[in-house]
Structure 1
Amino acid sequence: MTQQYLVNKTYFTSERYPENIKQRLLSTILQTLRKNRERYLAPLSTEKILSKLNQVVKHWLNLQSPIRQKAENLLTQTTGCSKEVISEGLDLAFNEVRHLFLRKNAKILSQFPRPQLSSFIFGGMVPTPMLFDIFMGLLLKSAVIVKTPSRAPFFPILLAHSIYEVDPSLGSCVKALWWPGGKWNLEKMIFKEADLIHAYGDDKSIKEIEALIPPKKIFIKFGHKVSFSVIGKEKLKGPLHLLAEKMAYDICLYDQQGCVSPHVIYLEKVNFLNPIAWTRALADAMEKMTRKFPPGHLSLGEASLIHQIRGQYSLREKTLCLSSHPNPNWTVIYEENPEFHPSCLNRVIFIKPIAHIKNLPQILKKWRGNFQALGYAVSPERKKEVERISKSLSIPFLLPIGSMQNTSFKDHIEERLNQLRNN
C-alpha cells in the first residue's frame, strides 16, 4: 500500500471513531492530506472529480447499497430522528448534488478561493450542509479535514469512506474525525495548517473558535439561525389542504432541528377566510404527515416542555392550540401576537396573522441577521415583494413552501461567497 493512501487506509474505521486523538497523530494526518492532494487531487481535472463524486452519489441513492443502509441505521440511532425522516433527508441532499453533476456545472465555484487544505467544524445533525461542504472542498481541489458533530458523527465518516471505495486516491484526500469539544489544542493545530476554516455551532462556540483563528486565514462561520414562512392572501383561495401538506412537510423533516426549519408561519389576513380554518387544515396535515414521517424519540425533558407549552397556550385568550394530545408528536398554535419567538422544536409550530406581508421587516427587525431561510407561498407577481423582505432582513435562503429543506448547492456556495465579500 502506497503512502498516497495512508489517511483512510491506516486510520479509518466506519463503525467507531477515535476518542483520544493525540497531537502527533493529527499532525501526521494533516501532513499526509496535503501530500495526497499534491500527488493526486491537484492535477485532477474538475470533470474527473465530478465523475468520481457522481459515482459516490449513485451508491448513496441506491436504497439497497451497504453504505446507504448503514447510514440510515447509524443516523437513526444517533440523531433521534426516525428512519423515514433520515431516508427522505438523504434523498433530498444527494439528489441535489446529482442534478449538479448531470449538468456538469461546477462554474459556480470559479469565484471561490483555492485552499490547499480546508477544515470543517460541523455542528447539528442535518447531512445536507456536510455533504455540500465536503464535495465543495474536493471540487476546489482542496484536501479536507472534518471534525464531525457529536450528534451525527457518522455521516461525514461514512461519506469519506464511500469516496474511498470509489477511488482510494480521492478518498485519501478526505479525513473525518471526532473528539470531545473544548480540546482547543487540536483545533489550534488544524487552524494553523488549514487555508480555509469553516465552522458551525452556537454563537458561544463560534466566538471561541474565531479567537483561535490565525491572521490571514479564510474563515467562514455559521452560528445559530432560525427560519419562518409567509403565506400571501391570494394563496388561501384554493383548497387549503394542498398548501397545508407542503407546510407540514417542511416542519416534520428533521423534527425542526435544521436551521432552515420553520418556527413561525405568518398568514396574511383575508376577509373570506378565518385564519382558524387554516390552523385546522395544518393540524390535519401534520397528523397525516406524521404517519408518513414518524417523529423521532424525545427525551422526558423535551416531551415535558411540549406539554407545558400546550398548557400555557390553551389558557391564553385569542389563541388556539391543536395537537396530537396525549402524545407529543405535533403541536399547532395560533396566536394573534405577531412577535417572533423560536419554537421549542420537535414539530411545534406557531401561526400568526398579519395585515400585510410588507409589515414583516418592522415586526422582525430585532431578529435581522438571525434568519437562515424564508419560506414563501405567494403569487408570481408578488415574488419581488418577498425578495425585498428577505434582503431587508439579511436572509440568505428564499425557498418555496414545501421545499424549505431542499436548499440548492448553488445557494450554499453563494451564501459563503457573500460572507467572504462582506469580511
Structure 2
Amino acid sequence: MTATQLAYDAWLLPGLDPEEVIDWYTVPDVSVDDQPLRFPRLSSGQLEQVLDRLTAARQQYLVTATTRQLIDLIDATRARWLDYTFPWRAAAERILPTITGYTLAMVRRGLDDYLSLFKRDNLKALVRAELGDLDILDQFRERRIVPGRSRAFGPALTTHVFSGNVPGLPAQSLIAALLLKSASFGKLAAGEPVFAGLFARSLIELEPRLSDCFAVTWWPGGAAPEVEAIAFARSQAVIAYGGETAIRSIAERIPAGVRFLPYGHKLSFGVIGREGLINEIKARQLASRAAYDVAKFDQQGCVSPHLFYVEAGGEISPHSWARLLAAELARFGRNMPRGRLAPSDSAAVASFRRDVDFRASLDPDALALLTAPDADGGATVVFDADPTFTGSCLNRTVLVKPLAQAEAIIELLQPVRAFVQTAALALDPLRRDALAGRLGAAGVTRICPLGKMPDPDLAWHHDGRFNLLDLVYWADIEEGYPL
C-alpha cells in the first residue's frame, strides 16, 4: 500500500485479504480527499489469524535481531521522516491537518521536534539508562553489583490503545515495543487514526522482515468487545492512553499476568518566582516561553499547562505578567494560529469566556479576561486572584494566579494530587531544587524549565514510570559449583 492510498485505508493487518472483509467501519466526521477512512470489521477468527502472524514474524526476525540493529533501523527511519519530501512524511503533512484541525505549521513543528528525539545516541542512552546494558536484551550479561548474569526479555506481543490528542505520539509506544523485540497490535484513535500506520510502514520499507510485526486498525469504542478481549488475552503487555473512563474500562478487562501501563488524564502547571520578574525584559522572556508551552498543540498534551502561578513581590506584578503572556500568545498566534476546533470544544471555550467576563464585571480586581475574541490567535488568558488549582478548558485557554510565596503551591496541589504531572519552574537554582523535592512528594513526576513543557526528553519517566523497564522480565544465571 502506498502513502497516497492511505488517504482511504489507514489500517495495517498482515495477512488479511480485503476481499474477505464482510463489513467496514468508517470513522465519524473524518475524511481525506472527501473520502472516509475505512477499517475492517474484524471477526474473532480474523483477529486470531493476524495475531498468529505477528507472533510468528516476531519469532522469525525480532528475536534474532540485536538491539543495536534495531536502534540503527529506528535512527535511519527518523532521518527519513525529517525530510519533508519523504513520501510517508508528505502523506502525514497532507492528511493530519485535515483530520486533526491543526495547522500545517503546527503539525510540521510537532513532528520535527518529536521525531528528532529518536536519534541513535538517544536510543542507546534510553536502553542503558533503564536496563543498564545495551546488549542485555540479546544475551546474558554480567551483573555490576552482585554476582551472576542476567538477561532481559520483552513481551512477545504488545497491544497499544492510542489517543488522538497529539499527532506523532504513537511513535514512542511503537518504538519502545520494537526496542524490546515485541510485535505490536495497535488500536487507533478516532481523532487521529493515521500516523501509527504511516510510521509502521516507514519502518517496514527499510526492513521488510518487519512487515508482519506490526498491525494497526480502528473500531468504535465498545463496538467490538470480543476483539478487545482476544487482543488483551493474547498480549503480554498492554499500553493505553486516554481519559480516566477509558483507562478504567480497559483496566477492568486486562487478564491477570498481563503487564498494563496506563497513561490517563493529567494536569500540568507552571510557577514563576519573583526573581524572574525583576524587570519587563526578563518577565517578557518568561512570558514568551510560557506562551510556547500553552500554544504547542493547543494544550492537548498531558504535559501542557492549565495555569501559571506567579509570585508577588517582583517589579512586575502577577496581573501585569498575565498581560505579557496574553501579548506573547497573540504574537505566537499570528505565526501559528490555533487549530480548528470541534463544535463541542468551541462551545466550551465560548462558555468559559462568557462566565469569566460576567464574574469579572462583578469584581474586576479579582478576575480579568485579558484577551479579546478573534484578535489573538484564539488564546484566552484569565487573571484570577483565587489561588485554587483550576483546570482550564484547553485550546489555548490558560489561567494566571498570584501567590504570596511560590512554596504555597504545595498545599494547593493536594486536591488534584492523583492527576498532577509536569511543573515548569522559573526560580533560582536553590529555590527550584528545594521546591522540586516537595513537588515530587506531592505527586509531580516531571519538573522542567518554562519553554520545555511540551518537549520532554526521550528518557523521561512518563507519569513517574519507566518506558522499557516496566515491560520486561528478567532471567538470572547464578554461578554454582563447577562440574
| TM-score (norm. length: structure 2) | 0.81
State how far apart, in whole Å, the 2-side matches of 1:25 and 1:102 are.
35
The residue number in structure 1 matching 2:401 is 352
TM-fit CA distance, 1:128: 5.0
Q: Is the 8 A contact 1:246 1:401 kept in 2?
A: yes
TM-fit CA distance, 1:115: 0.9
Cα shift readout 1:43-72 (whole Å, capped 9, x = no counterpart): 111110001111110111112211112112
State how far apart, in whole Å, the 2-side matches of 1:281 and 1:236 are.
11
Residues 229 and 414 from structure 1, CA distance in 2 versus in 1: closer, same or farther, beyond 3 angstroms?
closer
State how far apart, in whole Å, the 1-side matches of 2:285 and 2:128 are.
37
Q: Is the 8 A contact 1:72 1:87 kept in 2?
A: yes
The residue number in structure 1 matching 2:259 is 218
The residue number in structure 2 matching 1:195 is 236
Q: Superposition RMSD on alpha carbons, in Å?
A: 2.3
The residue number in structure 1 matching 2:371 is 323
State how far apart, in whole Å, the 1-side matches of 2:397 and 2:418 are.
23
- Identity rate, percent: 29
The residue number in structure 2 matching 1:396 is 445
Q: How does 1:265-414 map to 2 (within 5 A)?
A: 265-315=308-358, 316=360, 317=363, 318-326=366-374, 329-412=378-461
State how far apart, in whole Å, the 2-side matches of 1:113 and 1:123 are.
27
State whether structure 2 residue 156 is matched by structure 1 residue 121. no
Cα shift readout 1:22-45 (whole Å, capped 9, x = no counterpart): 222211111111111111011111
| SS class of match (2:432) | helix
Q: Which has the higher helix share?
A: 1
| SS class of match (1:221) | strand
- Report the number of matched residues: 414
Higher Rg of the two aligned structures: 2
State how far apart, in whole Å, the 2-side matches of 1:172 and 1:82 are.
34
Q: Is the 8 A contact 1:269 1:275 kept in 2?
A: yes
TM-fit CA distance, 1:148: 1.0
Structure 2: state its 5+ residue gaps: 1-11, 19-31, 133-151, 472-483
State whether structure 2 residue 129 is matched by structure 1 residue 88. no
- Residue of structure 2 aligned with 1:243, choices 270, 286, 302: 286
| SS class of match (2:407) | helix
The residue number in structure 1 matching 2:9 is none
State how far apart, in whole Å, the 2-side matches of 1:412 and 1:35 are.
32
| SS class of match (1:192) | helix
The residue number in structure 2 matching 1:3 is none
Q: Is the 8 A contact 2:303 2:453 kept in 1?
A: yes
Residues 309 and 114 from structure 1, CA distance in 2 versus in 1: closer, same or farther, beyond 3 angstroms?
same
Q: Is the 8 A contact 2:445 2:461 kept in 1?
A: no
| SS class of match (1:339) | coil
Cα shift readout 1:336-382 (whole Å, capped 9, x = no counterpart): 00111211111010000011121112112000020221122122222
Residues 12 and 74 from structure 1, CA distance in 2 versus in 1: closer, same or farther, beyond 3 angstroms?
farther
- Residue of structure 2 aligned with 1:54, choices 63, 66, 75: 75
Residues 366 and 254 from structure 1, CA distance in 2 versus in 1: closer, same or farther, beyond 3 angstroms?
same
| SS class of match (1:265) | strand
| SS class of match (1:410) | coil
Q: Greater CA deviation, 302-311 or 288-297?
A: 302-311
State how far apart, in whole Å, the 2-side matches of 1:36 and 1:222 are.
28
Residues 153 and 34 from structure 1, CA distance in 2 versus in 1: closer, same or farther, beyond 3 angstroms?
same
Cα shift readout 1:154-197 (whole Å, capped 9, x = no counterpart): 01111111111111112431211111111211111011110011
Cα shift readout 1:128-172 (whole Å, capped 9, x = no counterpart): 542111101000111111111111110111111111111111243
The residue number in structure 2 matching 1:144 is 184
Residues 352 and 302 from structure 1, CA distance in 2 versus in 1: closer, same or farther, beyond 3 angstroms?
same
Q: Is the 8 A contact 1:256 1:262 kept in 2?
A: yes
Aligned residue type for 1:188? A
State how far apart, in whole Å, the 1-side matches of 2:13 and 2:226 are.
23
State how far apart, in whole Å, the 2-side matches of 1:236 and 1:180 are.
49
State whether structure 2 residue 196 is matched by structure 1 residue 156. yes
State whether structure 2 residue 271 is matched by structure 1 residue 230. yes
Q: Is the 8 A contact 1:47 1:104 kept in 2?
A: no
| SS class of match (1:199) | strand
State whether structure 2 residue 218 is matched by structure 1 residue 170. no
Structure 1: state its 5+ residue gaps: 1-6
Aligned residue type for 1:251? V
Aligned residue type for 1:62? D
Residues 66 and 309 from structure 1, CA distance in 2 versus in 1: closer, same or farther, beyond 3 angstroms?
same
